[in-house]
C-alpha cells in the first residue's frame, strides 16, 4: 500500500462537490469564503461555485518548505485582508488540509477578532490537527499529493523581491 494519499484532479472535483453538499445540508450560509493560499484557493473556488458564494478573499500563509518540513510557526504574508471586509461577516475558511492545524488556527484566531461566525472546511484533516474543522471530506495520517503541487514548477524562478 502507498505511503502517500493521492488526490487526482478528477477526485478533487468530486471531493469539493461532496464537501459543499455537506455544508449546504448543514444549513451554513457563509457571507464570504476566505481561502488560505495557495492550496486553499482551489478549494475556495470550487466551494464558491457549488455554494453560490461570489465573495472570495485570500490570506497568504507560509509554513511548509517541503514534505513534512516546516518553519517554526506559520507566518501571515501581506496583503492581510482588511477588518472592513470581515467585520460582522459569517465566514467559511477554506484550505486543502489541516495537518498540524497551526495555519488554520492562526487564520481562525485572526478572524475571531472581527467576524460574527467562522467555520473551517478542508479536503483532508490529519489526526493530530489542533483545529477540528467543522467540514472535512476525508481523514488521513499520510502525506497527501495534491494535483496542484505534485509536479515541479515548469520554470525555475530567481528569488523574488516583492518591494523592488
Ligand atoms: P498545517 O498548518 O495544518 O500543518 O499545514 C497547512 C498547510 O501545509 C496546508 O495548507 C498545505 O499547504 C501544507 N501541507 C500540510 N500537510 C500537507 C500534506 O500532507 N501534503 C501537502 N502537499 N501539503 C501539506
User: By residue range, what is the domain housing residue 71?
Assistant: 5-145
Examine residue 155 and state whether it is found in any structural domain, yes or no.
no
pTM of the full structure: 0.93
Q: Is the pLDDT of residue 164 over 50?
A: no
Residue 128, domain member (yes or no)? yes
Q: Return mean pLDDT, the chain.
A: 93
Q: Is 28 in the pocket of ligand 1 (CB under 6 A)?
A: no
* Alpha-carbon gap, residue 48 to 64, rounded angstroms: 26
Task: Tell me if 60 CB under 6 Å of ligand 1.
Answer: no
- The answer, yes or no, to whether any atom of ligand 1 lies below 6 A from the CB of 98, is yes
List C-alpha distances in Å: 88 to 34, 35, 48: 14, 18, 19
Of the candidate ranges 36-45, 65-74, 137-146, the one whose mean pLDDT is the lowest: 65-74
Q: Which three cell numbers stand for residue 124?
A: 483532508
**CA distance linking residue 48 with residue 56, whole number of Å:** 7
Query: What is the DSSP secondary-structure string of 64-83?
Result: EEETTEEEEEEEEESSPPPH
In a domain, 164, yes or no: no
Number of structural domains the chain divides into: 1
Return the ligand 1 atom nearest residue 131 CA.
3
pLDDT tens digits for range 112-162: 988 999 999 999 999 999 999 999 999 999 999 999 999 999 998 876 655
CATH number at residue 101: 3.40.50.2020
- Flag whether 109 is in a domain: yes
Amino acid at each position: 500500500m502507498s505511503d502517500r494519499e493521492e488526490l487526482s484532479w478528477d477526485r478533487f472535483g468530486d471531493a469539493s462537490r461532496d464537501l459543499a453538499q455537506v455544508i449546504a445540508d448543514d444549513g451554513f450560509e457563509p457571507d464570504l469564503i476566505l481561502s488560505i493560499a495557495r492550496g486553499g484557493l482551489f478549494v475556495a473556488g470550487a466551494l464558491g461555485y457549488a455554494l453560490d458564494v461570489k465573495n472570495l478573499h485570500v490570506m497568504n500563509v507560509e509554513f511548509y518548505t517541503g514534505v513534512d518540513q516546516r518553519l517554526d510557526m506559520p507566518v501571515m504574508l501581506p496583503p492581510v485582508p482588511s477588518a472592513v471586509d470581515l467585520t460582522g461577516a459569517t465566514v467559511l475558511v477554506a484550505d486543502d488540509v489541516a495537518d498540524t492545524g497551526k495555519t488554520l488556527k492562526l487564520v481562525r484566531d485572526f478572524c475571531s477578532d472581527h467576524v460574527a461566525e467562522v467555520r473551517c472546511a478542508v479536503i483532508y484533516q490529519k489526526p493530530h490537527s489542533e483545529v477540528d474543522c467543522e467540514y472535512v471530506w476525508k481523514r488521513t495520517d499520510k502525506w497527501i499529493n495534491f494535483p496542484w503541487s505534485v509536479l515541479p514548477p515548469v520554470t525555475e524562478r530567481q528569488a523574488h523581491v516583492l518591494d523592488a
